[in-house]
Amino acid sequence: MGKHKAIIFDRDGTLIVDKIYLNDPDLIEYPDGVFEALQLLRDAGYVFAVATNQSGIPRGIVQPANLFETHRRIRNEFARHGVDFLDFYYAPYMTDTDHWMRKPNPGMLEVAAKNHDLALEQSWMVGDKMSDVEAGHRAGCKSAFLNTTNNPSHQDGWRDPEVVCDTLLEAAHLMLSQS
C-alpha cells in the first residue's frame, strides 16, 4: 500500500483546453480555474501526475519532441502557481489497441503508483472521457468526470464516476468533500 494520496489527471480537456492532437506547444491554453483547483487539492495534501493517451504519435500527427516540450511548458506554468507534477505519463498507442498503458486500462496509473509510492485506494483519476473514469476504477481509484468535451461514451460494465461536473474547480470542491 502506497503512502501518498494522489490525483492523476488526463491532459487534454482536463488540465489544458483540448485542441485535438496538439502538436504545437504555442497553442496550449488553460481552462478557467485550473490553477486554483490544483492549489486547493495541493493544500489538502494531494500529489499530482498526468496520464494521457497520445494516439497522435503513431498516427504521425504529434511529434514526440513537441509532446515533451508541451509537458515541459505545462509543468513550468503550473510551477509558477506553486503546483508540481510528479510525472507525465503518455501512451503512444492507437485507439484500437488494448495496450495495458492505454486508458481505459490502468497501466499508466499503476506505473505512477509504483514509481511514486501512491496509495491508489485514496487517490482520484480526473478526466473528460469515460475511458479516464474507467482507468481510475480499474486502478482502484475514485474517478471524476469533467463534462468539458461532451464525450460520455460509456461501455457495458463500466462504473459511473463518483463526481461529475463541468469545471475542474467544481470537481476539486466535490472531491474534497468526498475524501
User: Which residue range forms the structural domain that includes residue 65?
Assistant: 6-150
SS3 label, residue 39: helix
- Tally of CB atoms within 10 A around 136: 31
For the entire predicted model, the pTM comes to 0.95
User: What is d(CA 144, CA 128) in angstroms, rounded to the nearest whole number?
Assistant: 8
In a domain, 17, yes or no: yes
Q: Which residues are catalytic?
A: 10, 12
pLDDT tens by residue, 66-121? 999 999 999 999 999 999 999 999 999 998 999 999 999 999 999 999 999 999 99
Mean per-residue pLDDT for 124-148?
Answer: 95
What's the number of domains the chain is made of? 1
Query: What pLDDT does residue 2 have?
Result: 79
Q: What is the CATH number of the domain that holds 95?
A: 3.40.50.1000
Do 88 and 9 touch, CB atoms closer than 8 A?
A: no
